[in-house]
């Protein structure tokens, strides 16, 4: 049972499984396997609080940051994966600890519109979209989903809307995605708040440092999301109680514990571990135009395309969204996502989609900027991992959440135990 103070500090992230070994806070030497945002945030927050605890960060690649990566070319700037964060005090607190207040700002309010496109026409996503499903039908679906282990398709009985939502987050169709994983508050998964959730949210809003976000806003960093990880890496490298090892791979927590001669309870695993299902792979393209060539494209957040006959699942309006510059003056930048389950690998197909959804004119910049793999979270996933009780600690979006908010809040919850 969590206290009201904990609910106000961490919000509805408390609903997600929290697999932290109870002996971890007693450790004087911690091994963190995985140098992505989760591992970096956990290491930084513990290290700044407890200088007497030595921390080993282990990363299998030759760089830190994990999926967080920002492509930059002259005045163009585009995030390869996550490009913004929804409001949460844990994120705001980390930004303040890092001294990134001036680089962190709220998204542009005029870019909040989102659309669903079926290949023939677009319709705007809004609360009205839920009303079109029918309030009685929707209420029945929510009630059904609260029994646990159901899919997002069970929760949102409109295939086009449901698929658009899940494709935009985990690159999979709604029938394959656990509703408890994606919408734990709506399904009432996990811990129950000690008072009405609306009241807790009001109290949370008073705890935001830096600035108080407005409703339904997002926030991001000047220079892209890599600004966050780059600053954290710089500070971690300056900490005497932190050691970083790149190009180092461990297959299991026990192997990492044996190598460093520590108990498994001192291991925090933030990297992928048990392969449950084949990953959903997606290629990401940065596409830029002269403003005059995309005048017909309305300012907004982006368009989701659930039609599986189209190789593109979504288009984000990168230069519309952020308060900081993402394109040279007189130009607009878009990020196009192409799931490998739809796309045959021919870039000509992506150019064809760009012409269909953006402009008949040729872009001034067209570049494949990265490939990402997203784990599968089948219906019932959250119930299955809730029953696990490992000898080590398990964190990160390869396990119980896929958002910036989740991994940073989870890291803060761990550090608060020390």
With a cut of 80, say whether residue 130 has pLDDT above it: no
Q: Tokens 């780059």, residue?
A: 230
Can you give the pTM of this predicted structure? Answer: 0.94
Beta strands 242-245 and 365-374, pairing class: unpaired
With a cut of 90, say whether residue 239 has pLDDT above it: yes
Please check whether residue 24 is in contact with residue 269, taking contact to mean a CB–CB distance below 8 angstroms: no
Residues, the chain = 418
With a cut of 90, say whether residue 396 has pLDDT above it: yes
- Phi and psi at 83, nearest 5°, equal -120, -5
| Closest C-alpha among 54, 19, 34 to residue 243 | 54
Beta strands 219-221 and 76-79, pairing class: unpaired
pLDDT in tens, 211-236: 999 988 999 999 999 999 999 999 99
Domains of the chain in start order, with CATH, are 4-68+85-105+203-276+378-415 (3.40.50.720), 109-114+278-374 (3.90.660.20), 126-188 (no CATH)
Mean pLDDT score of the chain: 94
**C-alpha span between 390 and 265 (Å, rounded):** 9
| Cβ partners under 8 Å of residue 166, min gap 6 | 152, 172, 173, 174, 176, 177, 182
- The percent of residues in the chain predicted with pLDDT above 70, rounded, is 98
At 390, the pLDDT band (50, 70, 90 cuts) reads confident
**C-alpha span between 57 and 39 (Å, rounded):** 7
Please check whether residue 34 is in contact with residue 66, taking contact to mean a CB–CB distance below 8 angstroms: yes
CA 24 to chain CA centroid, Å, is: 26
With a cut of 90, say whether residue 275 has pLDDT above it: no
């Amino acid at each position: 049972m969590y206290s009201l103070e904990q609910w106000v500090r961490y919000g509805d992230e408390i609903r997600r499984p929290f697999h932290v070994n109870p002996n971890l806070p007693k450790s004087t030497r911690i091994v963190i396997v995985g140098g992505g945002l989760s591992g970096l945030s956990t290491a930084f927050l513990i290290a700044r609080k407890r200088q007497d605890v030595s921390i080993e960060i282990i990363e299998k690649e030759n760089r830190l940051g994990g999926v967080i990566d920002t492509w930059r070319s002259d005045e163009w700037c585009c995030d390869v994966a996550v490009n913004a964060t929804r409001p949460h005090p844990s994120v705001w607190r980390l930004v303040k600890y890092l001294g990134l207040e001036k680089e962190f700002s709220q998204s542009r309010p005029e870019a909040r519109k989102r659309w669903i496109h079926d290949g023939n026409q677009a319709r705007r996503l809004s609360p009205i979209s839920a009303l079109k499903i029918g309030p009685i039908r929707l209420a029945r679906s929510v009630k059904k989903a609260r029994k646990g282990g159901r899919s997002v398709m069970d929760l949102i009985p409109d295939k086009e809307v449901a698929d658009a939502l899940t494709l935009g987050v985990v690159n999979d169709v709604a029938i394959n995605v656990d509703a408890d994983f994606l919408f734990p508050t709506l399904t009432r998964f996990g811990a129950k708040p000690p008072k009405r959730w609306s009241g807790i949210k009001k109290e949370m809003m008073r705890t935001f440092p830096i600035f108080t976000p407005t409703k339904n806003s997002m926030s991001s960093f000047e220079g892209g999301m890599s600004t966050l990880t780059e600053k954290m890496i710089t500070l971690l490298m300056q900490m005497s109680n932190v050691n970083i090892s790149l190009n180092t791979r461990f297959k299991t927590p026990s192997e990492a514990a044996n190598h460093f001669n520590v108990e498994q309870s001192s291991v925090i695993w933030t990297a992928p571990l048990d392969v449950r299902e084949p990953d959903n792979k997606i290629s990401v393209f940065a596409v830029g135009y002269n403003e005059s060539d995309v005048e017909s494209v309305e300012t907004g957040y982006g368009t989701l395309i659930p039609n599986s006959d189209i190789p593109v699942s979504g288009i984000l309006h990168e230069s519309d969204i952020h308060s900081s510059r993402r394109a040279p003056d007189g130009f607009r930048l878009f990020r196009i996502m192409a799931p490998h389950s739809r796309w045959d690998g021919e870039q000509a197909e992506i150019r064809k989609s760009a012409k269909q959804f953006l402009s008949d004119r040729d872009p001034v910049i067209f570049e494949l900027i990265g490939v990402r793999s997203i784990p599968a979270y089948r219906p019932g996933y959250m119930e299955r991992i809730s029953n696990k009780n490992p000898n080590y600690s398990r964190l990160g979006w390869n396990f119980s959440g896929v958002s910036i908010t989740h991994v940073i809040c989870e890291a803060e919850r761990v550090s608060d135990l020390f």
